[in-house]
């Protein structure tokens, strides 16, 4: 297989591509291409539709490239193309050996400019001695954040307790048929007898008992 140079307009994105490429990611890819060159081609099928490299295409276009490096997989069936596309997106999701990443980044810090490819926090991480960080500080902060969130949730619940809500919003419909009305009326009478409550209180009590039993 041979890398070809195609006009940018000839390289077509796959309309159902599942992998997202936010602007900040595209900017990083573009900076890498600017510094090191476009050494990884975009892989397309026999129709010019991208199999691998949607992010690279966006990055190259952002750099004003009119001709894009392309590898054509015209040997694949439509099913194989789709499988290859999904596999590429899936294998890109993986864990990173953070210690090894730190060592690799640190070894480059004084020899090459990595800004634009890695953000400031990642570059700081590369030169920090992680052994000096007190992990208890993170736990304390996390617990405080969780407690604050719980308190905020309780405040919100208290504020909404007295608010009246239209039944159409709860059930998702505005009215019912005459036949259904008879069933609902009998059901309300049943739950009032079961709970010893009336109306809204009966409905709430019965729903609570059913949900509690289900859990």
Cβ contacts of residue 157 below 8 Å, gap of 6+?
none
Quick count: other Cβ atoms within 10 Å of Cβ 32? 19
* Statement: the pTM of the whole predicted model exceeds 0.75: no
**Model confidence pLDDT, tens digit, residues 134-160:** 444 444 444 555 566 667 666 666 666
CATH number for 3-91 (one of 3.90.1530.10, 3.20.20.150, 1.20.810.10, 1.10.3720.10): it is 3.90.1530.10
pLDDT of residue 135: 45
The domains of the chain are located at: 3-91, 98-131, 133-163, 166-215
**Model confidence pLDDT, tens digit, residues 54-106:** 999 999 999 999 999 999 999 999 888 888 887 776 655 555 566 666 666 66
Cβ contacts of residue 5 below 8 Å, gap of 6+?
67, 68, 69, 70
């Amino acid at each position: 297989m041979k890398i070809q140079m195609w006009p940018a307009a000839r390289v077509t994105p796959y309309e159902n591509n599942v992998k997202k490429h936010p602007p900040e990611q595209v900017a990083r890819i573009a900076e890498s291409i600017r510094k090191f060159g476009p050494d990884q081609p975009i892989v397309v099928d026999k129709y010019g539709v991208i199999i691998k490299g949607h992010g690279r295409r966006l990055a190259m276009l952002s750099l004003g490239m009119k001709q894009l490096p392309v590898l054509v997989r015209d040997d694949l069936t439509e099913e194989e193309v789709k499988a290859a596309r999904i596999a590429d997106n899936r294998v890109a999701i993986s864990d990173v050996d953070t210690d090894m990443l730190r060592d690799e980044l640190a070894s480059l810090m004084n020899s090459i400019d990595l800004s634009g490819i890695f953000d400031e926090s990642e570059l700081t991480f590369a030169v920090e001695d992680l052994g000096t960080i007190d992990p208890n500080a993170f736990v304390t902060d996390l617990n405080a954040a969780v407690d604050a969130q719980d308190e905020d949730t309780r405040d919100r619940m208290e504020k909404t307790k007295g608010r009246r809500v239209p039944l159409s919003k709860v059930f998702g419909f505005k009215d019912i048929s005459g036949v259904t009305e008879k069933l609902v009326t009998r059901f309300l009478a049943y739950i009032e007898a079961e709970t010893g409550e009336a109306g809204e209180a009966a409905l709430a009590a019965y729903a609570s008992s059913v949900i509690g039993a289900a859990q």
